[in-house]
Amino acid sequence: MQQRDAVGALTVLAEDERLFRDSVYEFADRTIRPLVREMDEQAHIPASLIKELFDLGVMSITVPEAHGGAGASFFHATVAIEALSRVDPSIAVLVDVQNTLVANALARWGSDDMQSRYLPRLATSTVGAYALSEAGSGSDAFALATRATETSDGYRIEGRKLWITNGNEADVFIVFATVNPDAGYRGITAFLVDRGMPGFTVGKKEDKLGIRASSTCELLFDNCLVSKAQVLGEVGKGYKVAIETLNEGRIGIGAQMVGLAQGALDHAIHYVKERKQFGKAIADFQAVQFQIARAATEIESARLMVYNAARLRDSGATFLKEAAMCKLFSSEIAERVTSLAVNLYGGYGFVKDYPVEKLYRDAKIGQIYEGTSNLQLQTIAKHVLG
């Protein structure tokens, strides 16, 4: 019954949610849009923009009010990510990781002491990152080799992480390492590690196809000592932190893909009304109208799937299948709609002077990070087949 009630509340946004989404989009349109091309070319987010995101409050949507955040719902984070992605998915994923992964994990599994030390920082000025992936541990997330050896002072971490979003901007990292390789996934433990700790280095920044302003970095741990007070949750329960947080994070990626696709469609609609061929705007041709209509329908379908998963999560209902479905479908729609936008722009769609080329590049990552499309299909099949 709980799940049915949640689904029944989907079709419209509450007034406060709509106003919040629109205000975030207005900020993005006004403040972020003029910087998009430069950020993409330089593969860098200005520190001044990150400060504005904190000032706006979107970096602390899910941080409890007691620790200086908005204390808002996961759904509010979802619509903010969607709104930002219409303008620049790179900025959206910065906000996404901060809320759906880092702050969310701390609020759920952090001790009172850990929350009091870290959540106020995440609410006001500190970017967080989530470090799980390794060279041999991608889709097989728990095949990680990073080792945490217990000492009288705490744990010494040795290893290397790859593909870590926010790596260049973050000052606090949730790092997964195994304390007992023989125990398999039951040996995995999550730690809070601060930038600048001896033995911890942020390494190479990847030169990427899309979402280039968002940093993706390797992390190096060489005899990095952390205290026992830095364990997030319980020793040996890091797999639970990772699985449950990433299940929720997939909804955020779904929202990113929906916003991205909507942004591309917005550009395409504007262009086809202005572009003339054979004496009239190409928007007057039925073939173009039908392509736009299908894209709008697919985006709306993906949006409702994302909203459904977020509502279910907030209601406490089961949402794993719905999260996998919304990420899978939204990422496919994003690639399809951005490709259509490039096609409708014609030759202009293939050059960097126009915005759809970038969104087309940005869309590809949706089928890869926070669980590939094949992993989403595996999750869906498991639930459907029972």
As annotated, the active-site residues are: 370
Does one domain contain both 136 and 115? Answer: no
Whether residues 324 and 201 share a domain: the answer is no
Residues 313 and 203 in one domain: no
Question: Residue 295: phi, psi to the nearest 5?
Answer: -60, -45
Residue 113: which of 227, 262, 278 has the closest Cα?
227
Cβ atoms within 10 Å of 242's Cβ, excluding its own: 22
**Of 127, 158, 181, at which residue does a domain stop?**
127
CATH of the domain at 158: 2.40.110.10
CA distance 328 to 372: 8
C-alpha distance across the termini of the chain, in Å: 20
CB 205 within 8 A of CB 243: no
Residue 291, domain extent? 240-385
Residue 5 binned pLDDT confidence (cut-offs 50, 70, 90): very low
Tell whether 170 and 70 lie within a shared domain.
no
CA 230, 234, 236, 237 dihedral sign is negative
**3-state SS class at 194:** strand
- What is the pLDDT, as a whole number, of residue 14? 82
244 plus 366 within the same structural domain: yes
- Residue 357: name the closest of 345, 371, 373, 374 by CA: 345
Q: Nearest-CA neighbor of 311 among 98, 12, 19, 32?
A: 12
Of 204, 237, 270, the residue at which a domain comes to its end is: 237
Are 177 and 299 members of one domain?
no
The CATH code of the domain that includes 361 is 1.20.140.10
pLDDT for 25 beyond 60 = yes
Residues 269 and 229 in one domain: no
Closest CA relative to residue 179, chosen from 131, 144, 140: 144
Q: What's the predicted TM-score (pTM) here?
A: 0.95
My answer on whether 223 and 254 are in the same domain is no
Q: Looking at residue 15, what is its pLDDT?
A: 85
| 9 lies in the same domain as 63 | yes
Length of the chain: 386
* Same domain, residue pair 249 and 374: yes
Q: Per residue in 190-208, pLDDT tens? A: 999 999 999 999 999 999 9
Q: Show the tokens assigned to 55.
A: 């000032």
Burial 167-183 (b: 16+ CB within 10 A, else e): bbbbebbbbbbbbbeee
The closest alpha carbon to 326, from 376, 260, 374, 370, belongs to 376
Q: Are both 254 and 359 inside the same structural domain?
A: yes
Which residue among 181, 211, 237 closes a domain? 237
163-183 residue pLDDT tens: 999 999 999 999 999 999 999
We report the CATH number of the domain holding residue 58 as 1.10.540.10
Please tell me the total count of domains within the chain: 3
